[in-house]
Amino acid sequence: MTSQSAVQITELTTKHVDMSETESVRQLISPDSSSWSVFQPDIIISASEGYLWYLQVKLPPTVNLLQDKGKLMDFLLRRRDCKMVILSVCSQILEGGEKGSLPVVATVFDKLNQVYKEYLEAEQTYTVAMESGPSRGSAAQKRPVRTQAVIDQSDMYTHVLSSFTESKHYLYELVIKTLVQHNLFYMLHQFLQYHVLSDSKPLACLLLSLESTYPPAHQLSLDMLKRLSTANDEIVEVLLSKQQVLGALRFIRSVGGHDNVSARKFLDAAQQTGDQMLFYTVFRSFQQRNQRLRGSPSFNPGEHCEEHVVHFKQLFGDQALMKPSTV
């Protein structure tokens, strides 16, 4: 047998993966193929020409030949040396030029998970049998063989998912929106509680945007921002946007930022609520801060609080303004 003949058979076979390998060769290689003898799974003998071929399928070209990814996965899972080709298919449907829809991705991963599950169950059965010892009259238990069709978490992360590290936020966004869409709020709580979804400012903002659909998302967002410990400004903005002015004031005091925070921001928020006593409390709080820091309750011109001073006088009179303390 010449090496050239073997190569030709291999190439033709891979171009017709929807047919059995031997039938592809029988129909396409030679007009004298009726005289061939075929021995499953991969041997062809031509007695008239004195050739014997071993049939070998090249797997990579099949990725583009079979458009149905479910059938493609069924084909690959029955082949040796299939692991890297399977992982390339997973990469293709997740981030390649031919991204698959969620149902397609689910189908592919379901097939991989089923093979992995069957292997784990066989391994567990073998382990239990070995621990209990051989029973009388039973055949010796054989350890299950881990073929290349068994794709575990390590394989998937190393060759497929690790490339998504920089775009992790978008994966988290997909997970959260999917859970909310299917009303799986308990699962969302679990994912956040056990840090399946890592804390980040973009993720906290996403949770905040879901408040109209799922009101507890507001508190989940605040909790995440607090855990970050680098998002104090964002927490204040969130609280003020919800007109929780005193809550924002208490928070900024708890983190030691009260001396540097903008008084105008808090006074604006308090005035917009229309709650006169709330405005009085916030105004007096900043007067006390001014007295402690500068020895005078008055606001500096650079703080731009003149309109709030006027508003305070209109509500409570000049006599309600805090007077400078004398030593």
What is the pLDDT confidence band of residue 17, given thresholds at 50, 70 and 90? very low
What is the pLDDT confidence band of residue 170, given thresholds at 50, 70 and 90? confident
> Closest Cα to residue 154, out of 83, 70, 78?
83
Domain-by-domain residue ranges, the chain?
3-54, 62-159, 164-230, 248-327
Asked if pLDDT for residue 193 goes beyond 50, the answer is yes
> Closest Cα to residue 11, out of 43, 59, 44?
59
**From the centroid of its chain, how far is CA 111?**
20
Asked if pLDDT for residue 9 goes beyond 50, the answer is no
Question: In Å, what is the CA distance from 172 to each residue of 101, 130, 203, 207?
Answer: 17, 42, 8, 11
Residue with tokens 């890592």: 198
pLDDT at position 8, please? 39
Burial of 258 (0-12, 13-18, 19+ CB in 10 A): middle
Question: Hey, what are 84's tokens?
Answer: 């890297």
What's the mean pLDDT in 61-69?
A: 87
Q: How far apart are CA 170 and CA 99, in angstroms?
A: 15
**From the centroid of its chain, how far is CA 249?**
35
**From the centroid of its chain, how far is CA 18?**
35
Q: Considering the chain, what is the average pLDDT of its residues?
A: 81
Between these two residues, 289 and 170, which has the higher pLDDT value?
289
Question: Hey, what are 304's tokens?
Answer: 């731009």
Q: How many CB atoms neighbour CB 219 within 10 A?
A: 11
21 with 57: CB under 8 angstroms? Answer: yes
The half-sphere exposure of 319 on its side-chain side, counting CA atoms within 13 A, is 0
Peptide bond into 215 cis (omega under 30): no
What's the mean pLDDT in 108-130?
A: 92
Q: Is 298 left (phi over 0), alpha (psi -120 to 50) or beta?
A: beta
36-39: strand order across its sheet: 36-39, 43-46, 51-54
> 227 Cβ partners below 8 Å, 6+ apart?
199
What is the pLDDT confidence band of residue 279, given thresholds at 50, 70 and 90? very high
Quickly list DSSP for 31-55.
Answer: TTGGGEEEETTTEEEETTTTEEEE-
Q: How far apart are CA 195 and CA 190, in angstroms?
A: 8
pLDDT at position 254, please? 81
pLDDT at position 111, please? 95
Q: How far apart are CA 247 and CA 223, in angstroms?
A: 14
What's the mean pLDDT in 241-260?
A: 85
Q: How far apart are CA 73 and CA 50, in angstroms?
A: 37
Asked if pLDDT for residue 283 goes beyond 90, the answer is yes
DSSP 183: T
What is the pLDDT confidence band of residue 2, given thresholds at 50, 70 and 90? very low
What's the mean pLDDT in 14-30?
A: 43
Question: Hey, what are 224's tokens?
Answer: 């995440």
Asked if pLDDT for residue 83 goes beyond 90, the answer is yes
The percent of residues above 70 in pLDDT, for the chain, comes to 84
246 with 234: CB under 8 angstroms? Answer: no
Model confidence over 297-309: pLDDT tens digits? 999 888 889 999 9
pLDDT at position 22, please? 46
Model confidence over 123-157: pLDDT tens digits? 998 888 888 776 655 566 788 889 999 999 888 88
What's the mean pLDDT in 261-282?
A: 92
pLDDT at position 227, please? 85
Asked if pLDDT for residue 273 goes beyond 70, the answer is yes
pLDDT at position 74, please? 94
Question: Hey, what are 38's tokens?
Answer: 């075929």
pLDDT at position 174, please? 82
What's the mean pLDDT in 200-204?
A: 83
Q: Across the strands, what pairs with 51?
A: 46
Q: How far apart are CA 324 and CA 327, in angstroms?
A: 10
